[in-house]
Amino acid sequence: MALALAIIVALITIVSVVLFHVHHWWLPENIARNGAAFHNQFMLTMAVTGLFFVAAQLSLAYFLWRYKDRGDARKARYTHGNNTLEKIWTSVGAVLFIGMNLLGYRLWAQARFVGASPGALRIEVWAEQFQYWFRYASPDGSGHFCETNVHLMDDATGNPLGMNLSNPACQKNVVTDTLGVPVNRQVELLLRSKDVIHSFFVRELRLQQDIVPGMVIPIHFTATKVGTYEIVCTQLCGLGHYKMRAFMKVMTEPDFEKWLKQQAAEQ
């Protein structure tokens, strides 16, 4: 029985490693300019934690087999543990944990604490239970995001963000349910939430950021490949969380301008 259990534990370990290694269910292609660095950081974490996973599981299998009941009357021996070993693996864990944190921190800060470049396209992302809205200042790049008012918010009348539609600045703003962005140009997203905490995630951008009510959180990226990509919410935000998603359309600059004008004309 113990031998069978040891074999099962070892098999599960080996199959898991093979599944991760063949990359069949894996992240899709990276389309962000700085995505490769995030990807490498992620892979490093996977490799280091994977190594410990394999070592721990195989040791478990070994001990299952080594100390199985052999029918003889061996007496159990009391042990108080080994302080030196405890110190070693606690230190190794601490060094690895803090070291990988420091390595990843620079990368993380680059996307968040370093501002977007002056030419970046600013788009507001509004999350609500259970959908995303996107707001552009105007179709021609002029104008600004007008003030919103919670008392004017009304999804039924097509004013989900609560804009004062008699305000000329608001009339210029364009609100869409698809995130259209130009290819090879930096985009700065200003993340806002109308209700609870959501999380903006696009796998192909290797970009994920929580959206917190009461805060405007800026993040930036540059998409390098034309196409349509899924935006999901990765924070369990309520009963309809599973269906909270939108699409990001990466277009050439002329296509993007045409698309935004079309969106403006439709509202």
Q: Which residues bind Cu ion (CB under 5 A)?
A: 198, 233, 237, 244
Lateral strand order in the sheet of 207-211? 179-182, 245-251, 227-233, 198-202, 207-211
Q: Which is nearer to Cu ion, 140 or 177 (CB)?
A: 177
Residue 124 beta carbon to Cu ion: minimum distance, rounded to whole angstroms: 16
Q: Which is nearer to Cu ion, 141 or 213 (CB)?
A: 213
Residue 198 beta carbon to Cu ion: minimum distance, rounded to whole angstroms: 3
The torsion defined by the Cα of 89, 94, 96 and 97, in degrees rounded to 10, comes to: 130
- Angle in degrees, CA 233, 170, 179, rounded to 5: 30
Provide the angle, in degrees to the nearest 10, between the axes of the packed helices 35-66 and 83-112.
Answer: 160
Q: How far, in Å, are 20, 43, 52, 200 from residue 23 at the CA level?
A: 5, 12, 19, 24
Residue 22 beta carbon to Cu ion: minimum distance, rounded to whole angstroms: 32
Residue 126 beta carbon to Cu ion: minimum distance, rounded to whole angstroms: 12
Q: Which is nearer to Cu ion, 181 or 233 (CB)?
A: 233
Count other C-beta atoms under 10 Å from residue 4's C-beta: 9
Residue 97 beta carbon to Cu ion: minimum distance, rounded to whole angstroms: 29
Q: Which is nearer to Cu ion, 198 or 206 (CB)?
A: 198
Half-sphere exposure of 114 (CA within 13 A, CB side): 9
Residue 236 beta carbon to Cu ion: minimum distance, rounded to whole angstroms: 8
> Distance between CA atoms of 189 and 192, rounded to whole angstroms?
9
Q: Which is nearer to Cu ion, 65 or 130 (CB)?
A: 130
DSSP H helices in 67-121:
83-112
Q: Which is nearer to Cu ion, 237 or 260 (CB)?
A: 237
